[in-house]
Amino acid sequence: MSRTRPSRLVRRAGVAAALGASLILTGCGFDAQTLRTYTPAHGVNVDVNDIKVRNLLVIANSAGQGRLSASIVSPRADTLANVTGYATNQDGSQAAPLTITGATGLPLPPNKLVVLTGEGAPLVSVTSPALKPGLNVTLQLTFGSGGAKELRVPVMDAQDPIYRTAAPELSR
């Protein structure tokens, strides 16, 4: 009889230890990096209501002339009503306002990808004396459906081989 009592205690202790270890170890995968959204691009991704804007960035030369680059898709007919913004300094403070042309009333057909730097795409130009590659700009996107979003967007160098085909007029 004395033999069965310790073996029961040992079994119970082993089961309790296994349960405790399993509870502790289940927390190890709680905030795993594989569960986070990853953007394999230089630009910014944003959802404005159900409109999806992907890889939003500005391609610019050192003279302060740039082009807005993004891919936009909307589940229903909409428009990119307006884009406004300002350049930022290295410390993130506001610099000069941006002059943005070509974005007012840009049609977004339902479920059709609109690539702003694609062949035959509308040219959305961005200019400012403070627009410099390597810095950021703050843009406000406003859509016809009423959605709007303000976000910080990187300015990429038009001389970079990756962006020469997207904005060939700026790399000359």
Percentage of residues in the chain having pLDDT higher than 90: 63
Helix or strand (DSSP H, E) at 168: none
Structure confidence by residue, pLDDT tens digits, 92-105: 899 999 999 998 99
The answer on 22 and 64 residing in a single domain is no
The answer on 142 and 70 residing in a single domain is yes
Task: Compute the radius of gyration of the chain from its Cα atoms.
Answer: 26
The answer on 23 and 92 residing in a single domain is no
> What domain range includes position 9?
4-35
Q: Around Cβ 67, how many Cβ atoms within 10 Å? A: 25
Higher pLDDT, 26 or 141: 141
The answer on 97 and 17 residing in a single domain is no
- Tell me how many domains the chain contains: 2
Q: What is the pLDDT of residue 22?
A: 76
The answer on 92 and 71 residing in a single domain is yes
Confidence grade of residue 120 (pLDDT, cut at 50, 70, 90) = confident
Report the C-alpha gap between 85 and 101 in whole angstroms.
12
**Mean pLDDT for the chain?**
88
Spell out the residues 6+ positions from residue 141 whose beta carbon is closer than 8 angstroms to its own. Answer: 46, 48, 53, 56, 80, 83, 148, 149, 150, 151
